[in-house]
Amino acid sequence: MPSLHKSVTACLLFLTIVLPLPALAQDKAVPASRTEMQLSFAPLVKQTAGAVVNVYAERVVQRTSPFAGDPFFEQFFGQRMPNRSEKQSSLGSGVIVSHNGLVVTNNHVIQGADDIKIALADGREFPCEVLLKDDSVDLAVLKIKAQEDFPVLAIGNSDAVEVGDLVLAIGNPFGVGQTVTSGIVSALARTQVTDGDVGFFIQTDASINPGNSGGALMNMKGELIGINTAIFSRGGGSNGIGFAIPANLVKVFLTAAEEGKKSFERPYVGATFQAVTSDVAEALGLKAARGALVVAVTRGSPADKAGLKPGEVVLAVNAIPVEHPDALSYRLTTVGLGGTAALTVAEGRQERQLELALGAAPETVPRDERLIDGRNPFAGTKVANLSPRIATELHLPSDKTGVVITDVVRGSPAARLGFQPGDIMVAINGAPVPSSKAMEALVADNPGFWRVEIERGGQRIRQFFR
């Protein structure tokens, strides 16, 4: 065995001389001896584990009696079988990122909760309040209600992460207590992992299980590089494919919470993009099928002012390559509102640089939100005039116009018929719907027969109601 170690070391030295490692990897090395292979993560865990907490969320759910409304059972049993309310609990993890008690976790961990508590690694529990949450990025920031100096986990630079880097995942899987698992970064820029808008995840083979959500993915410097969010699993357990939201997005979200923002706004671009396939790359004369192809540009938008044109391909943001449209959205989001992004765009084999100013989506027309009532299929819907701002809030393409449903009252006729927030009203009984005021007038008459056309998810849906 000693001779084997020597031969491996010799080969490594030879490779280092002949093939120098990239600059980013020069301070990294594989174990070269038995002593190095016996190194332990314990000192790093002791230094950082105190900043990872358990998050307990409780919600009160009303359980309706299956016999409610039945005259027979109500006559004989009366109130002996009333509707019941019960508490549902969920368990996740979180990371303390400031000494005054700011905690970052996943939005799905605390979604719909009436009461949220966190438990430290030493067993102490504290109530907390929600400062900011967003389901599209699946992040939430909590504030511990206590005046203490809490341990923190420093936030690192997720752009410095490379495939093959050693990582630790800390959380509370299956509620068994704080657990540390190790692995490597398996891949970067993973897309279509969740139903949200984040299309840029760090993939790791460190074991992540239910209850780990909101916990820390940490590098060997003891820095937070991601918030563990999802797993790929057929049976509910870890299969060695876990995903984490990159720390650079967490930083932007945390800044919005510290500034007192009530919602998390993405930068408005005013352009639509699609992925570059191999056929598109060949047709455009590109060297590789990567980047974000510009499909359309809204007149007067930041993209229009920057000079971006349909048919061009965005290859990089601030010199960082863009693999696909989701990666472009992520890069622009991490630059943040008020910033400027340097875009590298290509038209054929010619490349040029553009400066894109990033701001909030404008409300180009007054939203004029109205609650529809009366005897019609739309009773219980809130509708508003579409603008880039409303479209951004509802996660719709920014170039959509007309009238959109922003909310549906639970239990209303519209809810029972299946109308949803984000549905765009196209026509009612053959008449177009140009504004929320016009829609209110259209439904004021009760024709007894309704022909409705809406757009949902880019598809036209036609329904008939009596």
Residues marked as catalytic: 108, 138, 213
Beta strands in 276-319 (DSSP E): 292-297, 313-317
Could you give the angle at which helices 247-258 and 325-335 cross, rounded to 10 degrees?
A: 40
DSSP 8-state symbol, 49:
G
Instruction: Tell me the longest C-alpha to C-alpha distance in the chain.
Output: 91
Go through 106-140 and write b for each residue having 16 or more CB atoms within 10 A of its CB, e for each that does not.
Answer: bbbbbeebeebbbbbbeeeebebeebbbbbbbbbb
- For the chain, state the CA radius of gyration: 27
Note whether 87 and 60 are within 8 A (CB): yes
Question: How far is residue 332's CA from residue 89's CA, in Å, rounded to a whole number?
Answer: 36
Who contacts 306 (Cβ-Cβ below 8 Å, separation ≥6)? 343, 354, 355, 356, 357
Question: How far is residue 344's CA from residue 396's CA, in Å, rounded to a whole number?
Answer: 26
Burial (CB count <10 Å: 0-12, 13-18, 19+), residue 415: middle
Query: Among residues 380, 390, 438, 389, which one has the least CA distance to residue 411?
Result: 380
83-87 contacts at long range (C-beta below 8 A, 24 or more positions apart)? 85/60, 85/61, 86/60, 86/61, 87/58, 87/59, 87/60, 87/61
Both tokens of 149, joined, read: 């100096």
Q: How many residues does the chain have?
A: 466
Question: How far is residue 67's CA from residue 90's CA, in Å, rounded to a whole number?
Answer: 29
Handedness of CA 16, 19, 23, 25 (dihedral sign): negative
Note whether 201 and 246 are within 8 A (CB): yes
Residue 348 Cα to chain centre, angstroms: 33
Cβ neighbours around 222 below 10 Å, total: 16
Note whether 121 and 111 are within 8 A (CB): no
Both tokens of 13, joined, read: 């030295």
Note whether 452 and 465 are within 8 A (CB): yes
